Amino acid sequence: MESYARPKVAISACLLGKEVRYDGTGKKNRWIDTVLRDYVDFKPLCPEMAMGLGTPRETMRVVKDSQAKTLHLVTSKTRQDMTELAKTTVRELLDRDCADVDAFILMANSPMCGLKFVKVYESKNDIPHKDGSGFFAAALRERFPHVPIIEGPRLDDLGQREAFLSHLYMYHSLGAMEASPRALQEFHRAHKFLLLSYSPKLYRQMGPLVAQTSRSNIRESIQGYRKFMAQVFSGTRQTKHGSDALLHIYGFLKEGLRDDEKRYVLESIEQYRKGLYPISLPLKMLSLLNIRQENSYLHKQKIFSPFPLTLQA
Q: Of all residues in the chain, what percent carry a pLDDT higher than 70? A: 99
Q: Are 275 and 301 in contact (CB under 8 A)?
A: no
Q: What is the pLDDT of residues 199-238, one digit of tens each?
A: 999 999 999 999 999 999 999 999 999 999 999 999 999 9
Q: For residue 129, what pLDDT band results from cuts at 50, 70 and 90?
A: confident
DSSP 81: B
Say what the pLDDT of residue 102 is. 98
312 has a pLDDT exceeding 90 = no
Tens-digit pLDDT profile for residues 19-31: 999 999 999 999 9
Q: Which amino acid is at 237?
A: R
Span 75-101, pLDDT tens digits = 999 999 999 999 999 999 999 999 999
d(CA 106, CA 89): 17
Reference 147, options 15, 9, 33; nearest CA is: 9
Position 257 scores a pLDDT of: 94
User: How far apart, in whole angstroms, are the C-alpha atoms of residue 211 and residue 200?
Assistant: 17
pTM to 2 decimals?
0.95
DSSP letter, residue 99 = T
Report whether pLDDT(2) > 80.
Answer: no
Return the pLDDT at 66: 79
How confident is the model at residue 131, as a pLDDT?
86
Instruction: Tell me what pLDDT residue 97 has.
Output: 94
Is it the case that residue 272 has pLDDT exceeding 80? Answer: yes
Better-scored residue on pLDDT, 2 or 63: 63
Mean pLDDT of 156-178: 97
Burial class of residue 79 (count of CB atoms within 10 Å of its CB; 0-12, 13-18, 19+): exposed
pLDDT of residue 313: 61
pLDDT digits (tens, 9 = 90+) for 35-74: 999 999 999 999 999 999 999 999 999 999 878 789 999 9
Element spanning 131, H or E: strand 128-132
Handedness of CA 44, 46, 52, 56 (dihedral sign): negative
* C-alpha to C-alpha distance for 71 and 89, rounded to whole angstroms: 16
Residue 40, C-beta contacts closer than 8 angstroms, at least 6 positions apart: 6, 7, 8, 9, 168
Rounded Cα distance between 148 and 8, Å, is: 11
Q: Is the pLDDT of residue 168 over 80?
A: yes
Cα–Cα dist 242/237, whole Å = 7
